[in-house]
Structure 1
Amino acid sequence: MRRKPLRIQDLISDHGKTLGLFVDCPQEGMNKNISVPEIQRPGLSLTGYVKRKFNKRILLFGRIELEYLRDLASERRKERLEDVVTKDNPAVIVARGQRPPKELKEICQKLKIPLLRSGEKTMTLMSQLTLILSEVFSPIETVHGTLVEVFGIGVLIQGDSSVGKSEAALGLIERGHRLVSDDVVHLRKKDNRYLEGTGPELTRHLLEIRGIGIINIAHLYGAVSIRQSVRVEMIMDLEEWNDDHYYDRVGLEEKFKEILNLHIPSYVLPVKPGREVALLIETTVLNHRLKEMGYHSAKEFNIKLLETIAKRQRKGRLNVG
């Protein structure tokens, strides 16, 4: 999924109120694109120790930087700021309600870089900006399937068309679980550790059932039956029952699917008339949760089976002796 560029204007219109941001000057640089998700405080660079330029990052000036600059003579202040601020910086932000030095204003006007101000504390503002930019720049993949929350775990139901994904989701909703998205699921990589799934705004809370049509889950079952997003912790692959296919009957083999370089536990569930798919998905989720807690039913069974076989073999040798 292609990510829409984030402009300074977008940052202010979407998050300006939360961040307490307002524009000081100039207006013509508001269409500059933010191309990296990092925020940079000038720090030691203002002392003349400039080992590298932070060209594409938003520069954030806090009280410490501004107090240091005020102690410098005007000419020296201008030199130090010119060493730090470049035309490739998408914006300069002054935090804590501080008034920016006139030299900083002049440089921003000359380079057509938006100079923004905020009343927020410097570290608070930096943390909030980092979270917002991490969200915007995190990798996204769009997949076909139905995403539901079952016992607090995000389950992505996948499979061929008409295999019964939406019907399975409806059965789960009837049992008190929650729908996130049907048909199209956007997966976003968060903190390089996990996937968060959500749905398109257009089809949010809608479920398509063949023979019935499109139904609005929020209207039919209430707000308790839906949620906007969920952490995706397992994938359930539905497939038509095939008598010639071998299906794992013990559960010792663990499978994973790779999405955005993350390995998500995956389970295959063969479906045929008479099998209650919603109940089977619930059972798989509970069993998965037990595994996460350290108890593996199949491994426990296998250990007991091997112990029983070993006992019988020892008993057989004793009888022969």
Structure 2
Amino acid sequence: MHKSVSVKELVANTHLSVFAGGDNLDRPIPTSDISRPGLELTGYFSYYPSERIQLLGITEISFAKHLSDQELDDYMTRLCQPDTPAFVISTSLEPPIQLVKAAQQAQIPILTSKLNTSRVLSNMTDFLEARLAPRKSLHGVLVEVYGLGVLITGDSGIGKSETALELVKRGHRLIADDRVDVYQQDEQALIGQAPQILNHLLEIRGIGIINVMTLFGTGAVRSETKVDLIVHLDIWEQGKKYDRLGTGTDATEIFDVRVKTINIPVKPGRNMAVIIETAAMNFRANSMGYNATDDFDRQLNGLIKTNSEHDQEHPDQTKKQ
């Protein structure tokens, strides 16, 4: 699903100020792309992305000062199209009076910032990409364990929420219970968060709904986190094969991102919270280049090689054995 963003929301979340057009902040922003209309100030409008926010910095404002009044009237009027969301002026610069008049006539707001152009561009892009990115709703519980976002999945009633509660009691943080909204931040990162109505809430069968922030404090919750690892809880089945050496390469593809996935069998007596803590620590160790399975393989191969060399040097002892 796609969320729409208004200019008013952009102002509230990116520290912009309204210079003019405060009555027109409900204009929609359809894309996270930002345009810097430099070529347009030379009269080139063959490709003008008018649906984007138009950002003017020191370069554009300085160039505009060298244009004639007639050119400025023409170019600023052509910049103000019906689908243009807003103009943003960085570095506390004064917008050209021709732009102010044209924007007022077209009912397009003009926003300003004291930050430099690069910072303004970065702030707006980050906010708009997060809000306009495609989103998907997943069934599961998202917790932050040792700084890693762990998505716990599994059949209903298997104990995901109870495991999350135990993790919270052990000092980790809850992001979302039951339903997790995820969006792709970039080519390698997924961000997960709770729907607004479920923020900080956890459902425990037999108790009901609890507010984790109220019971455990603000340090027990977080609004969003990157999804680094998926832990799937699976009912233990006799005879079913499970990964015992950590050589599994399972991954779940969400949008265009592959997230490492491990399957953990659930049976009485297993402390799932401790197991998930260990899985998170092991995942971090693997990410830093250490792999216990590789160490085991090297030691095993070394032992086999040593025994083989011993057998070659003492064939009589080998025969007696």
Q: Normalised by the size of structure 2, how large is the TM-score?
A: 0.88
Question: 2:319 maps to what in 1?
Answer: none
Deviations 1:147-190 (A, max 9, x none): 11112211111000111111111221222222111111111222
Judge conservation of contact 1:92–1:113 (CA < 8 Å) in 2: no
| SS of residue paired to 1:156 | strand
Unaligned runs of 5+ in 1: none
1:62-141 alignment runs, 5 A limit: 62-82=57-77, 84-110=79-105, 112-123=106-117, 124-141=119-136
Question: 1:147 maps to what in 2?
Answer: 142
Question: 1:170 maps to what in 2?
Answer: 165
Shift of 1:25: 3.8
1:284 is aligned, of 265, 279, 287, to 279
2: CA distance, partners of 1:98 / 1:295: 52
1:56 aligned to 2:55?
no
Q: After alignment, is 201-210 or 94-103 more displaced?
A: 94-103
| SS of residue paired to 2:156 | coil
1:316 aligned to 2:311?
yes
Classify 1:253/1:213 alpha carbon distance in 2 versus 1 (closer, same or farther; 3 Å).
same
2: CA distance, partners of 1:31 / 1:150: 39
Classify 1:105/1:318 alpha carbon distance in 2 versus 1 (closer, same or farther; 3 Å).
same
| SS of residue paired to 2:282 | helix
Judge conservation of contact 2:173–2:222 (CA < 8 Å) in 1: yes
Question: 2:266 maps to what in 1?
Answer: 271
| SS of residue paired to 1:270 | strand
Opposite residue 15 of structure 1, the aligned amino acid is N
Opposite residue 3 of structure 2, the aligned amino acid is K
1: CA distance, partners of 2:136 / 2:300: 43
| SS of residue paired to 1:202 | helix
Classify 1:97/1:288 alpha carbon distance in 2 versus 1 (closer, same or farther; 3 Å).
closer
Classify 1:142/1:121 alpha carbon distance in 2 versus 1 (closer, same or farther; 3 Å).
same
Q: After alignment, is 95-104 or 210-219 more displaced?
A: 95-104
Q: What do you get for the CA RMSD once the two structures are aligned?
A: 2.4
2:13 is aligned, of 9, 12, 15, to 15
Classify 1:75/1:296 alpha carbon distance in 2 versus 1 (closer, same or farther; 3 Å).
same
Unaligned runs of 5+ in 2: 317-321
Shift of 1:9: 4.0
Shift of 1:247: 0.8
Q: Normalised by the size of structure 1, how large is the TM-score?
A: 0.88
- Among all aligned residue pairs of Structure 1 and Structure 2, give the percentage whose two residues are the same amino acid: 34
Q: How many residues align?
A: 315
2: CA distance, partners of 1:106 / 1:21: 15
Opposite residue 208 of structure 2, the aligned amino acid is G
Shift of 1:45: 2.8
1:231 is aligned, of 226, 229, 235, to 226
Classify 1:66/1:138 alpha carbon distance in 2 versus 1 (closer, same or farther; 3 Å).
same
Shift of 1:31: 4.2
